[in-house]
Structure 1
Amino acid sequence: MSEITPDLVRHLGVLARIQLSDAEVERLTGQLDVIVDNIAKVSRVATPEVPATSHPIAMSNVFRPDVVGDMLTSEQVLQNAPDAADGRFRVTAILGEEQ
């Protein structure tokens, strides 16, 4: 039994403030009806005995351990900066005087 009717699609269009033509209403009625039917099928199968899954294959952490490596010196970091002062990048102020 179809739950989605053209009148319901028009009503949803009004609620969403979307102007729909008659052709769009007919197309969306069919598409939304298929979506609702598929959700109903999944709901019938999803029982407490069936565990919820987010991935079909078990996922594992793929991060490498944190290891301190070679680091740049402050001078190396700032050597190509357009402007620097006191060992820091110097940038144009973007906040007003009240900050």
Structure 2
Amino acid sequence: MVTKDADGTWNEDLCTSSYVGYGGVGETTEWNRKTPRGQFSFTYAFGILPNPGTELSYTQVDDTYYWVDDVNSRYYNQFVTTKTTPKAWNFPADAFLFRKTR
């Protein structure tokens, strides 16, 4: 990620690994296997550990948190918890975001 200073100088703020979809980059649908093209913002963060210090709104997930991938659900493509949202989607047994470790 880069930002541009007021004087026009570009600065690298973040460098990370990434993956491009099997179908390349472009306009996406649920099943075309493309990485979406565009500019995106992070509005919140989540993880299995306590907040590591982010200034974003942070949720420590457990086995009640899901990212709904059922295109027929009204919760499609939403971050939800069954603590407050009724399970109104079909999903594979391992769709939840939390993985128990031993």
So what's the TM-score if we normalise by structure 2?
Answer: 0.19
Larger helix proportion of the pair = 1
So what's the TM-score if we normalise by structure 1?
Answer: 0.19
Larger strand proportion of the pair = 2
